[in-house]
Amino acid sequence: MTLTSKIKTLGEELGLDIIRITHTQSFPEVEKRIMESIYKGYIPLPTLEHQKKDLLSPVLKSFSKVKKRCDPLSILKKGKSVISVALGYLIEEEEGKWIKDEPVGRIAKYNAANFYYEIVLRLNKIINLINQETAFQYKSKSKSCYVPLVEKPLAQRAGVGWYGKNGIILTERYGSWVVLGEIITEVELEIDSPLNKDCGDCRVCIDSCPTQAIVAPYLIDRNRCLQYISERLMKVPLEFRDKWGDILYGCTICQEVCPRNKGIIPKKFKPTYGYIGLKIPLLPLLNFSEEQFRKYFAHNQIAMRSREVIKRNAVIALGNLGNPSSIIPLIKVLEEEENPLVRSHAAWALGKIGGKKSRTALEKALKNEFNQEVKVEIINALKMF
């Protein structure tokens, strides 16, 4: 049995759904595409605040990062092969533990647990096998999710799947409900070929995106993408707030509608790390201390985000759900929350839910508020009555 076959057999035994191999050549065409997206503004640059004292211009800094991400050898100089893997994450859901009629927010399927960590655990076992089989003569590195490498082009070249027009990798058996991961290794393995597949004439995802974020096939304007916005502390444009619905984190509408994702049977697999499920009661999130937040989302990717981002998301979802039980907690946010961005969205949510209590609280807040942007939001919220 060759080492390549042993790797694939072990991967299957470990529960990885797809294991393919490609070479380590760089992706100049992907680099060009990403840079074009940055110049067109479809990939927002880090803000000046994030850049801190960095003297490089944001564009230059991003350019050097993109170049590295598109070159597997920037991770491992003598790398010869990339093992690209996928793990299906459509799992059977447990019953929610919330009280009847309690407002709950939706979590994107890939975030119900930390599937990225699940994949890395398995990749590390494959690295152990490579080390033992080669008497530790070669270096190997594993990654998933927040990779320093472009993992979708690697997965496409290895034949794990092909690009959907929503920019997400589609696989034959699990549709786009997969997380990706890879190992780059100095060992020369047997290479697989890309799959000869594409979306054909379909454009369902493009037409179904609530914010028209898929500006052309395979091209996403992240400023408009609810997935991207739900991860970052930024003002959610007014015109997107109604479309936000009950999102607490992530958006998968362009995957839900994809015909390639229909009829996939959920696995019985029970994730070990960071399981939070697909729906979360929203009101407790408004009162979480930093410590409670970290504890609640421990081992889940949401813990990588700031508490304020998740609080802002919860506030918008509460506004859209319109449950009267949210009014008093939202007034508390408007009066006591330190972060002006969260206060702004609380004002909007109260305007959206309406009612006498909301209106009185907004009028009172307008007199006491010192932040100009929040004041504008309160005035806009009062116009909703």
Which stretches of the chain bind ligand SF4, using CB under 6 A? Answer: 164-166, 199, 202-205, 209, 211, 213-214, 220, 225-227, 251, 253-254, 257-260
In the complex, minimum distance from the CB of residue 29 to ligand SF4, in angstroms, rounded to a whole number: 20
In the complex, minimum distance from the CB of residue 336 to ligand SF4, in angstroms, rounded to a whole number: 31
Alpha carbon distance 12, 156 (integer Å): 19
Match 């998740």 to its residue by tokens: 310
Between 232 and 364, whose beta carbon lies closer to ligand SF4? 232
Between 206 and 378, whose beta carbon lies closer to ligand SF4? 206
The H or E element spanning position 184 is: strand 178-185
Contact 377, 347 (CB under 8 A): yes
Match 């504008």 to its residue by tokens: 376
Question: DSSP strand E in 204-350: where?
Answer: 214-216, 219-220, 247-249, 279-281
Alpha carbon distance 22, 82 (integer Å): 5
In the complex, minimum distance from the CB of residue 209 to ligand SF4, in angstroms, rounded to a whole number: 3
Between 203 and 270, whose beta carbon lies closer to ligand SF4? 203
In the complex, minimum distance from the CB of residue 94 to ligand SF4, in angstroms, rounded to a whole number: 25
In the complex, minimum distance from the CB of residue 247 to ligand SF4, in angstroms, rounded to a whole number: 9
Alpha carbon distance 70, 32 (integer Å): 10
Between 253 and 334, whose beta carbon lies closer to ligand SF4? 253
The H or E element spanning position 59 is: helix 58-69
Written as one string, the DSSP assignment of 347-372 is HHHHHHH-SHHHHHHHHHHHHH---H
Between 61 and 197, whose beta carbon lies closer to ligand SF4? 197
Between 130 and 199, whose beta carbon lies closer to ligand SF4? 199
The residue at minimum Cβ distance from ligand SF4 is 164
Between 255 and 326, whose beta carbon lies closer to ligand SF4? 255
Between 250 and 329, whose beta carbon lies closer to ligand SF4? 250
Alpha carbon distance 13, 182 (integer Å): 17
In the complex, minimum distance from the CB of residue 75 to ligand SF4, in angstroms, rounded to a whole number: 28
In the complex, minimum distance from the CB of residue 283 to ligand SF4, in angstroms, rounded to a whole number: 25
Alpha carbon distance 73, 231 (integer Å): 30
What are the structure tokens assigned to 24, written together? 């380590």
In the complex, minimum distance from the CB of residue 16 to ligand SF4, in angstroms, rounded to a whole number: 23
Per DSSP bridges, beta strands 178-185 and 81-88 are antiparallel
What are the structure tokens assigned to 297, written together? 């989302």
